Amino acid sequence: MDRRIDSGEGEGRREESLDAVLYEGEGELFLPLSWHELPELFYFKSGSFLLELNLRECEIRQECLCFIPPGTLRSIRALSEDSAEYALRFDLRSLCFSPEDPLEEKLMRPLREGRLCFPRFVSVSDIGYIELLRELSELIRRFHLSGRRSPVSSGGERLELKSPGEQLLLRAGLLKLIGILELCGMLREKEKEEGDGERQARVLRESIRYIRENYQKKIYIRDLSEKSGLNEQYFIRFFKASIGSSPLDYINAYRIERAKEALRNTDEKVYEIAERCGFHNIGNFIRLFRSSCGVTPKRYRKLSGEGEK
């Protein structure tokens, strides 16, 4: 399975205090292995997809909804040209009730804290699917009517609603979705025991997070393996089998992505960017950059500037 560094909507970050953001794509869509700190609702409208959740793969061949909890490692690849999907990323913190309201204690707070979970999949044969799809379609329609569009690096578009009125209607739609799930008995308590897949995904997620938070410094593989509690050689094999590249290659690839971002958006000198991105040997930086991008850093900056004109 082909892997890429996701340099787009970074995992672990909030969506600019928006209640929700809609992503839509079609055709050869590919969302690299990553995660987010907000819950996500995917609507696989048509075509087929290869979905990976916490290192477990499943193939989707018919229309369905998929709820992905915060912190879940996920990768999505469209397998057919007629594929079309939507992803709604939403913030449950915007759906707070007063402490005295029974709904806050029985439903909303457990959802926000992860003690109560959304169903993983809802298919066309499930009771409540039509009602859920009707409400989701209304939210999608509203994004299309009033949403601000912007492209995303993994393919497709991002749409967001800004006005207070649209945000209020968006919250109402999210509450309707949750209400239907509760009425149909689809909300479930979190499993107390963490399975092998979840443990492995947690180790991988924490390793990636450490790399992305410390890429400007020297990172030793032995430190990553010690943090994960795994033997160094086993950790290297596990990481490569999961990500598709060795820890060192991943570290360098992520540093190159950050360097590309700096080359596009700053006037810093190349050697300054190299050092800030964790490359302390300018020759090694240029070699790795050219190997990854096909051009030197200076040429990349020039081509990026011409593309913006």
Q: Which of 10-24, 247-261, 292-306 has the lowest mean pLDDT?
A: 10-24
Q: What is the mean pLDDT of residues 227-234?
A: 88
Is the model's pLDDT at 122 over the cut of 70? Answer: yes
Q: What is the mean pLDDT of residues 164-174?
A: 93
**pTM: predicted TM-score of the whole model, two decimal places:** 0.75
Identify the pLDDT of residue 31. Answer: 78
Over the chain, what is the mean pLDDT? 87
Phi, psi of 10 (to 5 degrees): -60, 140
- Tabulate helix, strand, coil % of the chain (nearest 5): 45, 20, 35
Tell me the pLDDT band of 11, cut-offs 50, 70 and 90: very low
Q: What is the mean pLDDT of residues 114-127?
A: 94
Is the model's pLDDT at 17 over the cut of 60? Answer: no
Of 36, 20, 116, 37, nearest to 76 by C-alpha is: 36
Is the model's pLDDT at 12 over the cut of 80? Answer: no
Comparing 26 with 250, which gets the higher pLDDT? Answer: 250
Comparing 36 with 176, which gets the higher pLDDT? Answer: 176
Find out whether 37 and 12 touch, Cβ atoms under 8 Å. yes
Is the model's pLDDT at 152 over the cut of 80? Answer: no
Find out whether 40 and 68 touch, Cβ atoms under 8 Å. yes
Identify the pLDDT of residue 305. Answer: 77
Of 77, 92, 115, nearest to 41 by C-alpha is: 92
What sign does the CA torsion over 288, 292, 294, 299 have?
Answer: negative
In eight-state DSSP terms, residue 124 is T
Q: What is the mean pLDDT of residues 50-56?
A: 90
Q: Which residue has the tokens 């369905």?
A: 64
Identify the pLDDT of residue 162. Answer: 86
Helix H segments across 26-163?
102-103, 109-113, 129-146
Identify the pLDDT of residue 3. Answer: 32
Identify the pLDDT of residue 80. Answer: 87
Separation between Cα atoms, residue 23 and residue 39, nearest integer Å: 13
Tell me the pLDDT band of 288, cut-offs 50, 70 and 90: very high
What sign does the CA torsion over 261, 263, 269, 271 have?
Answer: positive
Separation between Cα atoms, residue 133 and residue 52, nearest integer Å: 23
Q: Which residue has the tokens 């190159």?
A: 256
Identify the pLDDT of residue 304. Answer: 84
Ranked by mean pLDDT, the top range of 14-28, 144-158, 166-180 is 166-180
Q: What is the mean pLDDT of residues 283-297?
A: 94
Q: Which of 55-59, 109-113, 148-152 has the lowest mean pLDDT?
A: 148-152
Comparing 284 with 243, which gets the higher pLDDT? Answer: 284
Tell me the pLDDT band of 243, cut-offs 50, 70 and 90: confident
Q: Is 67 helix (H, G, I), strand (E, B) or coil?
A: strand
Find out whether 46 and 83 touch, Cβ atoms under 8 Å. yes
Could you tell me if residue 146 is left (phi over 0), alpha (psi between -120 and 50 degrees) or otherwise beta? alpha
Is the model's pLDDT at 249 over the cut of 80? Answer: yes
